[in-house]
Chains A and B, each alone.
Chain A
Amino acid sequence: MEGWDPNTKSTLTHIPLLTTKAGPRDGAAWTLRLKEEYKALIAYTQMNKSNDNDWFRISAANPEGTRWTGKCWYVHNLLKYEFDLQFDIPVTYPSTAPELELPQLDGKTQKMYRGGKICLTVHFKPLWAKNRFIYIFNLSSGEELSQNKAHFGLCLFHGNVSEKISKLLFSSPRFGIAHALCLGLAPWLAAEVPVLVDSGMIKHKDDATSSSTET
């Protein structure tokens, strides 16, 4: 798991995983799922606040909990850059991850699809598909881990993942919205905002308005 910083790793292990596999068309099961989503979001927000790492606000924009809106921000060179955040829960959720949108950045970076959907393709969607992340963490012995990794990689290479191995490494609990924010949006902001600022694509709100108003 080299590449992920230790903070993300430890944060992730503290966000509750979700056990109800239900999407917005699943009636009462979706209500159960929604509760789990809330619990995970509450836990994650609380954790961020207590670690002095508060970085988003999100709440359901409709009673069904299928549309979510809010804000997220990132601090770069001691300046805070804030963006609107929105997404729909896809009809095939949780088989497919929510597509997080930052509409204000639409067209400003290539790492975005139309409508301001951030690109999660490489760094997040495979994790969502598999939740492999968790289990690689949870395996205690490093040696066992590397063996399993090698074996699993080989299996994938040959295109026939052994069911036994995938069972060994992974089991059922699942990611939810909070995990998508932690593993999808946070690293995206960390990678993109500095580039957007340095290239002048986005300006700090104080800079943008300094000529006419005071902060």
Chain B
Amino acid sequence: MEAELKELLHDIEALDQSLTDSSHRASIDKLRSHVERLTSLGKSGPIRRLKVQDMSAEVVDSNPYSRLMALQRMGIVKNYEKIREFSVAIVGVGGVGSVAAEMLTRCGIGRLLLYDYDKVELANMNRLFFRPEQAGMTKTDAAVQTLSDINPDVFLESYTLNITTVQGFETFVSSLKNKSFCPSKEGSGVDLVLSCVDNYEARMAVNQACNELNQTWMESGVSEDAVSGHIQLLIPGESACFACAPPLFIILFSISVLFFLSLNIKYVYHKWRCDTYLSPLPPFGLGCGIGVDERTLKREGVCAASLPTTMGVVAGLLVQNTLKFLLNFGNVSPYLGYNSLKDYFPTMQMKPNPQCSNVACLKRQVITLTACGNDKFYLQKEYILAMPARDAALRAKMEAEDLPATEGPLHADNEWNISVLGDNELDSIDAASSDVLPEGLVRELPSADEPQKLPTLEAPLTYIDDLEDLRRQLDALNSN
């Protein structure tokens, strides 16, 4: 192409000289400058910048970090360069996760781990980050392509998997545990996990992994009507885990209030919304003076909305909180909501639930309470310690069946004293640990109905059946 342009320029020169009539000079000059511009454009091409050994604060055009290092000069951050030692895992590389990944990449984060099983689609183009020509690529591959161009200093690891499956979860956990990037650091192999997924199942899987690894993480979400979102910091044992309380949902001034109150509970973090074929729940909302008949709210399948603005804002809030957490400046928000219709930003703190259904969470809570050594928490601790009663009952079942009791990760600490508190004691715990929600926040799902009642002796559980027998019985039924 370069040679052809050169030839074209040569022809133009020849034409110019052969013409005696000067009236064409202007248009020939125009032609010449056009070819010259094309030639210089062709030469500039894509340039990949080289890796940078050390972050420099030098203010020159070619330094990708000068504006970031200026944070130190301004007294905001003590040691910005430390960012290169941090590993951040981003689960879900969608509208929020991809933007968060780009922000961290531009900030010069040391290492990013990306997890997603989805592919880029043209339907994603109303969001930021991915480009139309990347349609069909896996989100992880497309992200690595773009991010490594933007900043080759960042170590990128990508995992195309679904963390909710048994196998995907195992890979996820072992990748978080890999400490080869910074072996001298305590804890797991990453400094923070960012959950940027769009469904409850995946959030619960992240929650499970982080509780087991004692890994601090941040959760993010955008409502399906695209006008509100939230970020939340979760420190196992210290703050509420994702299973401790049903997810919160900002209802204030959002159309969702109607759905919430009539259907009472629903998930909002879904790509697609389906209509309500059947209303499984009694119309609780009617008693609240809203007066909306749930039957009028049945809709034909409606696609969840998304806005690049809301997703960008939530990604920004998430990464801002991440930077504050990692580089130790400002206040790290435990929960920050965002309602764009009223520009309402509620904040709150959620204590862990001593009746949480997640065993790993309860173990973290006990460790935290023990570490703080305050008598005030005696009751709470006792209550949590009583939880293995359920495990003990399970073990009794297994013994009745002559199965070896497992010492798996969930049952390793079964040697706790078993005691069960009465209702009054329970109430006092509730009072102590209940969190008052700020105006406009409601729980998105009902609390799980834990603690479970222990199987009583009047109803002895017998497991005489053999698994193979049962399998054969079902197969027999299936075969005719």
Q: Which residue of B lies closest to A92 (CB)?
A: B204
Contact between A121 and B267, CB atoms less than 8 A apart? yes
Instruction: Kindly provide the distance from the CB of B291 to the nearest chain A CB, expressed in whole angstroms.
Output: 14
A161 to B434, CA, bound (A): 10
B403 touches A (CB below 8 Å):
yes
Q: In the complex, which of the residues B265, B271, B275 contacts A129, with contact meaning CB atoms closer than 8 Å? A: B265
Residues of A contacting B410 in the complex (Cβ-Cβ under 8 angstroms): 25-26, 29
Interface locus among B79-87, B335-343, B444-452: B444-452
| Main SS at interface, chain A | mixed
Query: Which of the 9-residue segments B225-233, B315-323, B461-469 touches chain A?
Result: B461-469
Are B398 and A29 neighbours in the complex by a CB distance under 8 Å? Answer: yes
Tell me if A2 and B477 are in contact (CB < 8 A): no
Q: Which residues from 266 to 324 on chain B have a C-beta closer than 8 Å to any C-beta of chain A?
A: 266-267, 270-282, 284-285, 287-288, 301-303
Whether, in the assembled complex, B473 has its beta carbon less than 8 Å from a beta carbon of chain A, the answer is: yes
Q: Are B284 and A191 in contact (CB under 8 A)?
A: no
* Docked-complex contact A2 and B452, CB < 8 angstroms: no
Residue of A nearest to B409 (CB): A25
* B280 lies within 8 A of A4 (CB): yes
A83 interface contact, C-beta 8 A: no
Q: Which residues of A are found within 8 Å of B403, using beta-carbon distances?
A: 28, 31-32
Q: Which residue of A lies closest to B451 (CB)?
A: A172
Q: Write out the residue numbers on chain B whose beta carbons fall within 8 Å of the beta carbon of A149.
A: 282, 284, 287
Once A19-B455, A59-B478, A123-B280 are accepted as A-B contacts, the answer to whether A156 and B442 lie under 8 Å apart by CB is: yes
Interchain CB contact under 8 A, B277 and A190: yes
Q: Is B208 an interface residue (CB 8 A)?
A: yes
Partner of B408, one of A2, A25, A183: A25
Q: Nearest Cβ distance between residue A69 and chain B, in whole angstroms?
A: 11
Give the distance in Å from the alpha carbon of A96 to the alpha carbon of B357 in the complex.
Answer: 12
In this assembly, does B164 line the interface, its C-beta being within 8 Å of a C-beta of chain A? yes
Establish whether residues B434 and A95, one from each chain, have CB atoms under 8 Å apart when the complex forms: no
Chain B residues in 8 Å Cβ range of A35:
463, 465, 467, 470
Cβ-defined contact, A57 with B478, below 8 A: yes
- Give the interface segment out of A41-49, A72-80, A202-210: A41-49
A74 to B276: give the CA distance in the assembly, Å: 19
B166 touches A25 (CB 8 A): yes
Closest chain B CB from A62 CB (angstroms):
10
Minimum Cβ distance to chain B for residue A156 (Å): 6
Contact B200 A32, beta carbon cutoff 8 Å? no
CB contact between B208 and one of A66, A92, A154, A170 (< 8 Å): that residue: A92
Please tell me if the beta carbons of B277 and A123 are within 8 angstroms of each other in the complex.
yes
Among A5-28, those with CB < 8 Å from B are 19-22, 24-28
A108 → chain B, closest Cβ, in Å? 12
Tell whether, in the assembled complex, residue A153 and residue B287 are in contact, meaning their CB atoms are under 8 Å apart. Answer: yes
How many Å lie between the Cα of A95 and that of B390 in the bound state?
Answer: 16
Docked complex Cα distance between A133 and B302 (Å): 26
Tell me which of A126, A150, A183 has the highest count of chain B C-beta atoms within 10 A of its own C-beta.
A126
User: Is A114 in contact with B118, judged by CB distance below 8 angstroms?
Assistant: yes
**Chain B residue with the shortest CB-CB distance to A162:** B430
Contact yes or no, A172 B453, CB < 8 A: yes
- Given A27-B408, A154-B288, A156-B265: A60 and B471 interface contact (C-beta under 8 Å): yes
User: B274, B427, B447, B463: which contacts A32 (Cβ < 8 A)?
Assistant: B463
With A45-B477, A121-B273, A121-B274 given, is the CB distance from A126 to B408 under 8 Å?
no
Apart from A45-B478, A109-B301, A157-B285: 7 A-B pairs, beta carbons within 8 A: A3-B280, A26-B408, A35-B467, A66-B165, A88-B166, A91-B169, A126-B266
14 contacts between A and B (CB under 8 A): A3-B278, A25-B166, A38-B471, A58-B478, A90-B165, A92-B207, A111-B274, A121-B270, A130-B265, A149-B284, A157-B442, A159-B442, A164-B423, A166-B447
